């Protein structure tokens, strides 16, 4: 069956080139079908007002409210020195709160005439802060005149749909465009098999599209949402089920450890016993490695739960069975660090072919892009001959030149930085597809794991090894209580006095070319926040001021790899008291003597990032301290987020909070590597049941009909999900 022509119609033809261009560039909408699937964010009831009290900062919002008062001020400025500058301040209210709108210069005349007290309108703009109050500068607006025929017609029904909009295209313009294309919804092909749709009492797709855009009652919205959520969950789960099905058809070499091999020797030399969790997860992995289909397993665990040790035991099991194992790390700093910790843990077992190496030892090599030519040649030779049983590296491992003797296992660390294509490229280096183990240090709620990593089986490490110390976390409100910040630096000095070390993390490096300053600032920019704090500035201020006399070093991503490694080694060896860094230290850095983590502008980081950073302290026997420094006001969403991080050390709980607080288009965070989420209706946390049921239905369907021969409309929907620009979608968390 061909794709449906009416829905494939380019928007350019239907809405004209100017509107179509804005929709394509700012909302990623290209066809009539794309526009029909651009659902309202929420609905306003005519006569009922929105909540101005909980507007999000820095977001484009649309509000329906009433003008309370409007005042025109004149002032002197560089462009109007004789007091001829004009500023219109309009206060709008919705019963829950008030919000100020400002218009400047020539832009004041029209709103001054139209926005009279008592007028109701829709306003759209970006929420900013000026003089510690929320405001919209130069918002676009559309008057709501109950008597005007056209307004009543275009906002048919009692509910006004408010769409995710941009500065270039307000919600009501999107609404009008959707009215134009709505008749095409009748031709939408239904991807859900009829038996499934009827069995679950779901609306047909054309009816659901009509009700989501033109609801007459709240029940219409609920029915439409229930149906459209199923579409998203089901099409995505079918894509994942087909990937699992295809992987399960591939052959693989079973790899079983020898009773007297390198794994047994390694276990004998461990100075501690494995936790119950580590033992259980290792058994799941060994069972997978012993089968003749490739293992695809996700190993997720709390910061510091010992994932690296579990992965190393899996690699040694494969070496025992005559194969090679490759560990892929996202950055050079991390690859070097893994190489160092693996060789330390293995001792003489990592000295294969060398004097003093144990008899069943193997060679552990490092391969990164910045290595010298001779070292690189030797590493490539060791891999090709099989001399090296374990290789640790960055994407340099994926290059064509790299040949393995017999690649049996690929371990991918911090999975979200690697896409499916890169995994496949590495997989292609085995004579038969190697087994795959993916590690992630950001705990993922079960539903997200089913959605983002749906082609992998999941193992969870949720116990911390013995000897780990508790970490106390506190929010430091630098703007409200400056003396709290002074006390934070005192705490750093106290810890240094006891011989411990501290990290200070900043969002920015600080030597960026600042082209932005040259541009003329608009009134909106004036009201924007200051730029994020920078490593180079803060390091200098600390060394001269509150931390004078301590040894302060800096570390950031634009340093040469050798310099970065030297700073990290020096810090690990205790040669510096304080390391001022960007998030390059976010994962894998292990300095047990570091006890304090101060995060500047903590509100600029995501919840899981803050949790990762915090996990860098408390790794030894002394208790850890994490201080989240922010200038955001107490009532802001950012402060609530920081309070949540300070209140719990449970990464699974935090990842849940994180997802609940994100807005659509960002639901799966890095799952989309920054692209817009293709989940428009499904909320992975709230819709746990739908996702679980869709996964079961999809698995059953793909087992019976892997090529979807009998379901052409579902095939079309899959092609749309997996087209070029959404390919990243399955690139995994």
- Please report the pLDDT score of residue 1 as a whole number: 37
DSSP secondary structure of 414-459: SGGGS-HHHHHHHHTTSSSPPEEEEEESS---HHHHHHHSTTSEEE
In the structure encoding, which two tokens stand for residue 496, read together?
Answer: 């240094």
**How far is residue 680 from each of residues 191, 232, 573, measured CA to CA in Å?**
16, 8, 49
Please state the length of the chain: 733
Question: What is the C-alpha to C-alpha distance for residues 460 and 140, in angstroms, rounded to an integer?
Answer: 49
- Please report the pLDDT score of residue 219 as a whole number: 93
Phi and psi (nearest 5°) for 624?
-100, 155
**How far is residue 302 from each of residues 224, 435, 439, measured CA to CA in Å?**
38, 23, 11
- Please report the pLDDT score of residue 686 as a whole number: 75
User: Quick one: average pLDDT of 244-266?
Assistant: 89
Q: How confident is the model at residue 511 (pLDDT cuts 50, 70, 90)?
A: low
Could you tell me how far CA 265 lies from the centroid of its own chain? 40
- Please report the pLDDT score of residue 197 as a whole number: 92
Residue 533 in contact with residue 607, Cβ under 8 Å? no
**How far is residue 730 from each of residues 357, 672, 673, 727, measured CA to CA in Å?**
43, 8, 10, 6
In tens, the pLDDT along 486-510 reads 999 999 999 999 999 999 999 888 7
Q: What is the 3-state secondary structure (H, E, C) of 581-616?
A: ECHHHCCCCCCCCEEEEEECCHHHCCHHHHHHHHCC
In the structure encoding, which two tokens stand for residue 485, read together?
Answer: 């910040």
Question: What is the C-alpha to C-alpha distance for residues 614 and 599, in angstroms, rounded to an integer?
Answer: 9
Question: What is the C-alpha to C-alpha distance for residues 445 and 691, in angstroms, rounded to an integer?
Answer: 13
Question: What is the C-alpha to C-alpha distance for residues 606 and 604, in angstroms, rounded to an integer?
Answer: 7
In tens, the pLDDT along 597-627 reads 999 999 888 887 888 888 888 877 888 999 9
List the Cα angle 628/629/633 in 5-degree steps: 110
The region that residue 588 occupies, defined by phi over 0 for left and psi between -120 and 50 for alpha, beta otherwise, is left
User: Quick one: average pLDDT of 268-280?
Assistant: 89
The region that residue 105 occupies, defined by phi over 0 for left and psi between -120 and 50 for alpha, beta otherwise, is left
For tokens 């969950």, what's the residue? 233
Res. 421: pLDDT tops 60: yes
Q: How confident is the model at residue 587 (pLDDT cuts 50, 70, 90)?
A: low
For tokens 């072919």, what's the residue? 353
By three-state DSSP, how is residue 377 classified? Answer: helix
Greater confidence (512 vs 371) lies with 371
Report the percentage of the chain scoring pLDDT > 70: 83
By three-state DSSP, how is residue 400 classified? Answer: coil
Name the β-bridge partners of 473.
626
In tens, the pLDDT along 52-93 reads 777 777 667 778 888 999 999 887 666 655 557 788 999 998
Q: Which residues contact 350 (CB under 8 A, 6 or more apart)?
A: 342, 343, 357, 361, 362, 363, 364, 390
Kindly state the DSSP code that residue 306 receives in the 8-state scheme.
-
Lowest mean pLDDT among 65-69, 135-139, 472-476, 619-623: 619-623
Residue 47 in contact with residue 55, Cβ under 8 Å? no
User: Quick one: average pLDDT of 658-677?
Assistant: 45
The region that residue 43 occupies, defined by phi over 0 for left and psi between -120 and 50 for alpha, beta otherwise, is beta
Q: How confident is the model at residue 102 (pLDDT cuts 50, 70, 90)?
A: very high
List the Cα angle 477/478/482 in 5-degree steps: 115
- Please report the pLDDT score of residue 158 as a whole number: 62
User: Quick one: average pLDDT of 561-567?
Assistant: 83
Give the H or E element holding residue 363: strand 363-367
Q: What is the 3-state secondary structure (H, E, C) of 336-351?
A: HHHHHHHHHHHHHHHE
Greater confidence (700 vs 144) lies with 700
Q: For residue 274, which of 51, 469, 465, 559 has the smallest C-alpha distance? A: 465
Question: What is the C-alpha to C-alpha distance for residues 588 and 733, in angstroms, rounded to an integer?
Answer: 18
Lowest mean pLDDT among 97-101, 463-467, 500-504, 634-638: 463-467
Question: What is the C-alpha to C-alpha distance for residues 4 and 181, in angstroms, rounded to an integer?
Answer: 14
Name the β-bridge partners of 101.
90, 136
User: Quick one: average pLDDT of 33-58?
Assistant: 76
Report the chain's mean pLDDT, rounded to a whole number. Answer: 81
Greater confidence (678 vs 168) lies with 168
- Please report the pLDDT score of residue 208 as a whole number: 95
Question: What is the C-alpha to C-alpha distance for residues 681 and 230, in angstroms, rounded to an integer?
Answer: 9
- Please report the pLDDT score of residue 77 as a whole number: 66
Residue 523 in contact with residue 137, Cβ under 8 Å? yes
In the structure encoding, which two tokens stand for residue 11, read together?
Answer: 């928007």
**How far is residue 359 from each of residues 313, 344, 349, 441, measured CA to CA in Å?**
18, 17, 8, 34
Q: Which residues contact 5 (CB under 8 A, 6 or more apart)?
A: none
Res. 527: pLDDT tops 80: no
In tens, the pLDDT along 159-208 reads 788 888 777 888 888 888 998 899 988 888 888 999 999 999 999 999 99
């Amino acid at each position: 069956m061909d794709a449906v022509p009416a829905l494939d119609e380019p928007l350019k033809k239907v809405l004209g080139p100017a509107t179509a261009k804005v929709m394509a560039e700012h909302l990623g909408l290209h066809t009539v079908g794309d526009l029909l699937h651009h659902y309202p964010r929420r609905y306003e009831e005519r006569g009922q007002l929105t909540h101005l009290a909980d507007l999000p900062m820095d977001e484009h919002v649309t509000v329906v409210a009433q003008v309370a008062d409007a005042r025109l001020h004149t002032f002197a400025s560089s462009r109007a020195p004789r007091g001829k500058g004009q500023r219109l301040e309009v206060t709008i209210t919705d019963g829950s709160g008030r919000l100020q709108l400002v218009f400047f210069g020539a832009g004041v005349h029209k709103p001054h005439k139209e926005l009279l007290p008592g007028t109701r309108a829709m306003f759209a703009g970006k929420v900013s802060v000026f003089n510690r109050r929320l405001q919209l500068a130069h918002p676009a607006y559309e008057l709501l005149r109950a008597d005007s025929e056209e307004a009543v017609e275009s906002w048919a029904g009692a509910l006004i749909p408010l769409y995710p909009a941009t500065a270039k295209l307000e919600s009501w313009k999107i609404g009008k465009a959707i009215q134009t294309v709505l008749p095409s919804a009748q031709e939408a092909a239904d991807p859900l098999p009829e038996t499934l749709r009827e069995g679950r009492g779901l609306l047909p797709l054309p009816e659901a599209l009509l009700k989501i855009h033109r609801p007459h009652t709240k029940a219409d919205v609920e029915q439409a949402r229930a149906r459209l959520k199923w579409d998203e969950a089901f099409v995505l789960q079918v894509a994942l089920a087909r990937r699992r099905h295809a992987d399960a058809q591939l052959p693989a070499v079973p790899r079983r450890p020898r009773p007297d091999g390198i794994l047994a020797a390694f276990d004998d030399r461990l100075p501690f016993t494995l936790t119950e969790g580590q033992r259980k997860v290792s058994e799941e992995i060994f069972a997978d490695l012993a089968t003749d289909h490739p293992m695809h397993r996700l190993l997720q665990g709390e910061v510091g739960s010992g994932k690296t040790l579990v992965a190393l035991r899996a690699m040694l099991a494969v070496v025992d069975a005559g194969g090679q194992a490759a560990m892929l790390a996202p950055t050079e700093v991390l690859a070097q660090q893994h190489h160092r910790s693996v060789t330390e843990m293995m001792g003489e077992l990592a000295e294969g072919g060398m004097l003093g190496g144990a008899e069943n030892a193997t060679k552990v090599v490092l391969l990164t892009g910045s290595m010298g030519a001779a070292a690189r040649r030797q590493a490539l030779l060791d891999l090709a001959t099989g001399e090296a049983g374990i290789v640790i590296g960055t994407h340099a491992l994926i290059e064509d030149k790299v040949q393995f003797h017999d690649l049996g296992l690929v371990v991918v660390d911090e999975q979200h930085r690697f896409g499916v294509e890169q995994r496949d490229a590495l997989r292609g280096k085995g004579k038969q597809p190697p087994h795959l183990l993916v590690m992630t240090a950001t705990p993922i709620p079960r539903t997200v794991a089913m959605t983002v990593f749906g082609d992998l089986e999941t193992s969870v490490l949720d116990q911390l090894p013995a000897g780990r110390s508790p970490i106390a976390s506190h929010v430091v409100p630098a703007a409200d209580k400056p003396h709290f910040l002074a006390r934070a630096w005192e705490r750093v000095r106290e810890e240094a006095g006891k011989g411990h070390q501290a990290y200070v993390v900043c969002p920015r490096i600080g030597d960026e070319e600042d082209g932005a300053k040259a541009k003329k600032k608009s009134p909106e920019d004036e009201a924007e926040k200051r730029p994020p704090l920078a490593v180079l500035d803060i390091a200098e201020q600390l060394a001269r001021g509150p931390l004078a006399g301590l040894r302060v070093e800096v570390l950031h991503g634009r340093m040469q790899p050798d310099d970065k490694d030297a700073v990290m080694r020096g810090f690990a060896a205790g040669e510096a008291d304080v390391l001022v860094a960007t998030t390059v230290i976010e994962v894998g850095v292990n300095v047990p003597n570091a006890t304090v983590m101060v995060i500047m502008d903590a509100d600029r980081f995501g919840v899981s990032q803050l949790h990762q950073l915090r996990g860098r302290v408390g790794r030894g026997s002394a208790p850890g301290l994490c201080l989240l420094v922010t200038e955001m006001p107490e009532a802001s969403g950012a402060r609530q987020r920081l309070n949540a991080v300070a209140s719990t050390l449970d990464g699974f709980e935090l990842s849940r909070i994180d997802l609940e607080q994100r807005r659509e288009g960002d639901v799966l965070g890095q799952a989309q590597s920054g692209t817009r989420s293709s989940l428009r209706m499904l909320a992975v946390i709230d819709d746990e049941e739908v996702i679980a049921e869709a996964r079961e239905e999809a698995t059953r369907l793909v087992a019976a009909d892997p090529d979807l021969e009998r379901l052409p409309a579902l095939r079309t929907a899959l092609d749309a999900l997996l087209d070029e620009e959404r390919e990243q979608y399955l690139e995994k968390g």
